[in-house]
Structure 1
Amino acid sequence: MPLPALAPRLDEDDHLAEADFRRISALIAGQTGIKLPPAKRLMVEGRLRRRLRALDLPGFAAYGDYLFHQGGIDDELIFLINAVTTNKTDFFREPEHFELLHRRLVPELLSGRKNHMPLLKIWSAASSTGAEPYTIAMVLADLAAQRRDFRFAVLATDISTDVLDAGRHAVYPAEQVAPVPAGMQQRYLMHARRAGVRPEIRIVPELRRLVRFDRLNLMDTSYPYDRDVDIIFLRNVLIYFEKRDQSAVISRLADHLRQGGYLILGHSESMIGTSITMRQVAPAVFQKT
């Protein structure tokens, strides 16, 4: 009995031509602001091999020809962005920010509100697969249950459609939620019961309803969102941008903060904050005054 035909394997010795890598790097930088220096070439190749298979292309030369000579850029751009963007994320990453959110930022924001049960608006501006916005939602849900004097909504945006789909689905490997405190795991996580399957969890629907995922390119000249946002998280993404783009993004986001609102950067981006005109209130945390 003949064996079934196997899909042809891509040649692992096949590499992206230097000229095509430069073109892709320029395209990504122009579209997203993200830098792809020469040291990222092997990483880009590794991530694009799946696209070669999806397009049934024999190698990188054919992919470069498809992009730059056959007019494939328009159709391929969203997949190219998904492939090369970095999506490192964790629950309760840089936990000091969430402690500050609970202990100081929310109480200070609420102290100036006169209306009954005000709505706090929080924006995770580089949400990746959802660990950050769901961490924010857990912290705020606990605080709202304790205080009973505010409501909240979380906006989660990213440029990658793949990670946004993952965030909406809200299913994660069980080991990824290890940093979530035990009490929060009991309140906000559901565990899969399928035997023999890698353990997974899912965020409870009550919390998922409070987080909205939307695609946004931070390089756009304007953002279609409210201008009375209370807190914006923009952590660990600006390090991939050129300095002029960092300043432009920060300026646009600041326009969406209410007076007294906060912008939170990643600790690795503390030096970027030296050019921000807002008042620094904690490491990598700035207030619009």
Structure 2
Amino acid sequence: MSQRTFRRFRRFIQAELGIKMPEAKQTMLQARLQKRLRTLKIRTFEEYADYLFSDRGMAEELAHMIDVVTTNKTDFFRESQHFDYLTESVLPQLVRHFGAGVRRRAAVWSAGCSSGEEAYTLAMVLNEFRRRCPGFSYSVLGTDISTRMLKSAASGIYPHSRIEPVPMRFRKKYLLKSRDRGKDLVRIVPELRAAVRFYRVNFMKNDFGIREQMDVVFCRNVLIYFDRENQEKILNSICRHLITGGYLFTGHSETLNGLNIPLSQVTSTVYRKTL
């Protein structure tokens, strides 16, 4: 891939997706896009760029390019202490002060959900919270920019190797083994799948297309891919969908220091929306 072609891709990716693409990532981008060249039987990156940026390419290829460019790293119960804090501190406060889950359905958003493990983890945790709070109701929204990841998430099917972090009591309650012994797969139970919906969101758009207000947002290990200006823009957009007094969880490698956003820190990587 020539420097000129890399710069074409970089300008587009940074402008449309907000993802940082420094010179050091040229080799990574080249390796990921190579899959699309093989699939389309295109010989060079220059030809692929011409196709992608044509009207036809924008209509037919853009979603595929986004799928290979975006990072899709996630796990069940990743940074598990967040889920403990959610059930022990956040949910009781939201129920007590706002009637979340009692007077109205509690709404929780997994922003940047990838293949759905975080969204289903949230559904498991919220379902367990019902035992402490009878009548508690909830919904989980999982969003991502990758249509391929969203399709995978909606199926609720995972290789058995992916469920290692799930506590055994949760596995027995919320996961079904494949009837085909030759396939080492599990599927999220229908009750949980019904409580989770998936939707495509591009954080760089002004309107996410989300019309409900959220009580809790998990946006973890997502902001690290954006520069500070776009981090602030994204967080302010997310906050418009978060109730005053609602909570935002971020990844442990992320810091919001110095950003002009309506959030105050409650504890490490947990923030609350202020007036």
Q: Normalising by structure 2, report the TM-score.
A: 0.93
Matches within 5 A, 1:214-233: 214-233=199-218
Give aligned-pair identity as a percent: 41
What letter is aligned with 2:116? Answer: G
Cα distance in 1, alignment partners of residues 58 and 47 from structure 2: 13
SS of residue paired to 1:22: helix
User: How much does 1:202 deviate?
Assistant: 0.9
User: Does residue 61 of the first structure (1) align with residue 55 of the second (2)?
Assistant: no
- Alpha-carbon displacement from aligned partner over 1:61-117 (angstroms, at most 9, x marks no partner): 321332357863443221111110001101111111100011110000000245855
Stretches (4+) displaced over 6 A: none
In structure 2, what is the Cα distance between the partners aligned to 1:85 and 1:114?
A: 37
Counterparts of 2:153 and 2:99 in 1: how far apart (Å)? 34
User: Is the alpha carbon distance of 1:69 and 1:31 closer, same or farther for their aligned partners in structure 2, counting shifts above 3 Å?
Assistant: closer
Matched, 1:49 2:49: no
Q: Quick one: which amino acid aligns to residue 207 of structure 2?
A: S
Query: Could you tell me how far 1:25 is from its partner in structure 2?
Result: 1.3
Paired position in structure 2 for 1:203: 188
Question: Is contact 1:158–1:216 with CA below 8 Å preserved after alignment?
Answer: yes
Cα RMSD after superposing both structures? 1.8
Aligned ranges 1:19-98 → 2 under 5 Å? 19-68=4-53, 72-98=57-83
Report whether the alignment pairs 1:136 with 2:140: no
The letter of the residue matching 1:64 is: A
Match of 1:105 among 75, 90, 111: 90
Check the 8 A contact 2:239/2:262 in 1, yes or no. no
The one of 125, 138, 159 aligned to 1:173: 159
In structure 2, relative to structure 1, the CA distance for the partners of 1:196 and 1:286 (3 Å cut) is same
Which residue identity lines up with residue 24 of structure 1 in the other structure?
F
Residues 118-129 of structure 1 correspond to what in structure 2 (within 5 A)? 118-129=104-115
Q: What residue is the counterpart of 1:278 in the other structure?
A: 263
Aligned 8 A contact 1:91 1:179 in 2: yes
Equivalent in the alignment of 1:255: 240
Q: CA 1:280/1:161 → structure 2, altered by over 3 Å: closer, same or farther?
A: same
More displaced 10-residue stretch of structure 1: 148-157 or 58-67:
58-67
User: Which is worse superposed, 220-229 or 231-240?
Assistant: 220-229
Q: Which residue of 2 aligns with 1:150?
A: 136
Report the AA paired with residue 113 of structure 2: S
Q: Distance in 1 between matches of 2:269 and 2:152?
A: 28
Distance across 2 between alignment mates of 1:90 and 1:65: 36
CA distance in structure 1 between the aligned counterparts of 2:6 and 2:123, rounded to whole angstroms:
39
Structure 2 residue aligned with 1:18: 3
The C-alpha deviation readout for 1:209-233, integer Å capped at 9, x for no partner, is 1001000101111222235210011
Contact 1:227-1:255 at 8 Å conserved across structures: no
**1:200 Cα deviation after fit:** 1.3
Write the deviation string for residues 249-274 of structure 1: whole angstroms up to 9, x where unpaired: 111111111121011111110x2245
Find out whether 1:242 has 2:201 as its counterpart.
Answer: no
C-alpha distance in 1 between matches for 2:149 and 2:56: 26
SS of aligned partner of 1:66: helix
Match of 1:9 in 2: none
Unaligned runs of 5+ in 2: none
1: CA distance, partners of 2:59 / 2:198 = 24
